[in-house]
């Protein structure tokens, strides 16, 4: 039985379309900047929000209607849900999905039972992948929901909880490999602290690094070649998450000799919670060679938590696409780590949400491509740094200069040459001009 019987396969109808179940900007087979749109985005639907979200919040119970779900934590229900999920992926023409182990299969009474539940559902996932051609962008383990993880997992003060987490990740990597997953993600879950009075920060960070080294070793031993990704987030659920932002993650990876095996999965709402724009995080990661994948969503700047909304703002998607065109994304993707609001309780709302955000990204791609092709921003940047293109700049940039030489030069000159305008307002107007265009 179809889960979404009234919803057709979503088609591209062009910008003038008023059909809410059609794409206006996302045309999967259209080539833009040398690649099809499908290849640019590698759009990914998340299992946890889209198929496990209930709409409950700290003030109220579940609201979301999901007729295919019988509400039980059984393996049968999990298998039915998986079939419903693939119907949505196919109707949206989304080439990938992503999951946590506990999203797709119920946790058992013992670790062994949880493993076998996961294997049973993975069988259905594998069949559905084969049938539909939808692939797994990444897998991950949920190391935060079960109460055993109250003090964290890989940073827990309880060594057996650490061991349990390792066992769970080992299995999740194996299942990800079995399903052809292209990446494996570590979001920090509860790896952080609520209170420094009870926390040995150095020891926790050392443990976390050992955990990652063991994950790398295990991946090698089973021949899993997917990319490992860390997902920065500054707070929530802990007061301070260790992977707080790109700078903190890159520092951690360098300090613990993990740079060969890890890149970063950047999420818009996490960037803004850290007090950064997404573009800042993309530049910080991309310029250091750590940009792996993105969790595409948006927050609400008036709310201080991870609201995980679908991104529809063209400025945001244009900025993201400017960075993705500059640094590239594969084997990552544009992963909709976003949820419908609890008031949007009907199944069709899942379609409106994804279609709108896919379109916003496609529009962003078109605008960013035009900006780049015409060099509208890059020519200004080149011009702005042109003083560095002379002999002096070269000498400094290649490490062949000293303070003494620079002092000598400036003593001779007496004053630096005049500055030029930064032209920020003009550039903001130029970006608007590209946004006006079709
Ligand atoms: C939570 C994270 C989470 C990860 C996957 O804030 O965004 O959803 O993406 O564990
Ligand atoms: Ni995320
Ligand atoms: Ni998040």
The CATH number assigned to the domain holding 240 equals 3.20.20.150
The pLDDT confidence band at residue 52, using thresholds 50, 70 and 90, is very high
Active site residue 103: yes
Instruction: Please report where in the chains the tokens 């021949």 appear, as a residue.
Output: 223
Residues 85 and 137 occupy one common structural domain: yes
| For range 180-191, the mean pLDDT | 98
Q: pLDDT digit string (tens) for 343-373?
A: 999 999 999 999 999 999 999 999 999 999 9
Residues 6+ apart with CB under 8 A from 345: 55, 63, 64, 65
Does this model's pTM top 0.95? Answer: yes
Active site residue 100: yes
Identify the nearest ligand to the CA of 295 by its number: 2
List residues near ligand 1 (CB under 6 A).
100, 140, 185, 187, 231, 233, 267, 295, 306, 337
Whether residue 233 sits in one domain with residue 99? yes
Among 373, 401, 423, identify where a domain stops: 373
244 CA → ligand 2 middle, Å: 13
The fraction of the chain above a pLDDT of 70, given in percent, is 100
Looking at residue 438, its pLDDT comes to: 67
Residues 299, 317: contact at Cβ < 8 Å?
Answer: no
The CA distance from 202 to 84, in Å, is: 45
Nearest of 251, 236, 266 to residue 205 by alpha carbon:
251
Biggest CA pair distance of the chain? 83
Residues less than 5 Å from ion ligand 2, measured at CB: 267, 295, 337
Q: How many domains in the chain?
A: 2
What are the C-alpha distances in Å from 178 to residues 123, 157, 212, 360?
A: 9, 32, 20, 33
Contacts of 123 (CB under 8 A, 6+ apart): none
Q: Looking at the structure, do residues 392 and 342 belong to the same domain, yes or no?
A: no
* β-sheet bridge partners, residue 227: 183
Task: Mark whether 385 and 367 lie in a shared domain.
Answer: no
Alpha helix ranges (H) inside 55-148 = 75-92, 101-104, 111-132
**Whether residues 245 and 350 fall in one domain:** yes
Please check whether residues 407 and 363 belong to one and the same domain. no
Q: Which helix (H) or strand (E) holds 42?
A: none
Assess if residue 360 is contained within a domain. Answer: yes
Q: Is the pLDDT of residue 310 over 80?
A: yes
Asked whether residue 234 is assigned to any structural domain, the reply reads: yes
* Bridge partners (DSSP) listed for residue 230: 186, 264
Q: Is residue 179 part of a domain?
A: yes
Residue 416 belongs to domain spanning: 378-437
Query: Residue 121 falls within a domain, yes or no?
Result: yes
| Partners of 318 in the β-ladder | none
The rounded Å distance from CA 394 to ligand 1 centre is: 43
Three-class secondary structure of residue 272 per DSSP: helix
CB of 92 within 8 A of CB of 358? Answer: yes
Q: Indicate if 425 and 343 belong to the same structural domain.
A: no
Q: Are 37 and 365 in contact (CB under 8 A)?
A: yes
User: In sequence order, what DSSP letters do the residues of 240-267 get, joined into one string?
Assistant: EESS-SHHHHHHHHHHTT-TTTEEEEEE
Closest atom of ligand 1 to 233 CA is 6
Q: How confident is the model at residue 394 (pLDDT cuts 50, 70, 90)?
A: very high
pLDDT for the residue numbered 330: 80
Q: Write the DSSP symbol of residue 387.
A: G
Q: In the chain, what percentage of residues exceed pLDDT 90?
A: 99
């Amino acid at each position: 039985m179809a889960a979404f019987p009234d919803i057709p396969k979503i088609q591209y109808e062009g910008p003038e379309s008023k059909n809410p179940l059609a794409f206006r900007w996302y045309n999967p087979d259209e080539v833009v900047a040398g690649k099809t749109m499908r290849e640019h985005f590698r759009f990914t639907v998340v299992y946890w929000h889209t198929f496990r979200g209930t709409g409950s919040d700290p003030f109220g119970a579940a609201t979301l209607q999901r007729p295919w779900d019988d509400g039980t934590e059984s393996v049968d229900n999990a298998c039915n849900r998986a079939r419903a999920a693939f119907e949505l992926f196919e109707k949206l023409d989304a080439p990938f999905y992503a999951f946590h182990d506990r999203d797709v299969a119920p946790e058992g009474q013992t670790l062994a039972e949880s493993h076998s539940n996961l294997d049973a559902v993975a069988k259905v996932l594998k069949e559905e992948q084969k049938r539909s051609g939808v692939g797994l962008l990444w897998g991950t383990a949920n190391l935060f929901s079960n109460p055993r993880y109250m003090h964290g997992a890989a940073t827990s003060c309880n060594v057996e909880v650490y061991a349990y987490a390792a066992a769970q990740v080992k299995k999740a990597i194996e299942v990800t490999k079995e399903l052809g997953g292209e990446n494996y993600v570590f979001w920090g879950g509860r790896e952080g602290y609520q209170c420094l009075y009870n926390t040995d920060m150095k020891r926790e960070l050392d443990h976390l690094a050992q955990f990652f080294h063991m994950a790398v070793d295990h991946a090698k031993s089973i021949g899993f070649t997917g990319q490992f990704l860390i997902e920065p987030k500054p707070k929530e659920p802990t007061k301070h998450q260790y992977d707080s932002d790109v700078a903190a993650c890159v520092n951690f990876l360098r300090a613990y000799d993990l740079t060969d095996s890890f890149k970063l999965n950047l999420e818009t709402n996490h960037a803004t919670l850290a007090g950064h724009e997404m573009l800042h995080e993309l530049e910080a990661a991309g310029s250091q060679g750590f940009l792996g994948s993105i969790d595409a969503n948006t927050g609400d700047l008036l709310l201080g938590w991870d609201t995980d909304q679908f991104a529809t703002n063209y400025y945001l998607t244009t900025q993201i696409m400017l960075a993705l065109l500059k640094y590239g994304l594969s084997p990552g993707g544009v992963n909709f780590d976003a949820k419908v609001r609890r008031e949007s309780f009907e199944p069709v709302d899942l379609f409106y949400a994804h279609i709108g955000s896919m379109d916003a990204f496609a529009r962003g791609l078109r605008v960013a491509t035009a900006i780049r092709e015409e060099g509208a921003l890059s020519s200004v940047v080149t011009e702005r740094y042109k003083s560095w293109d002379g002999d002096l700049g070269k000498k400094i940039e290649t490490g062949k200069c000293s303070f003494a030489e620079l002092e000598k030069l400036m003593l001779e000159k007496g004053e630096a040459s005049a500055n030029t305008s930064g032209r920020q307002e003009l550039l903001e107007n130029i970006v608007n001009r590209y946004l006006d265009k079709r």
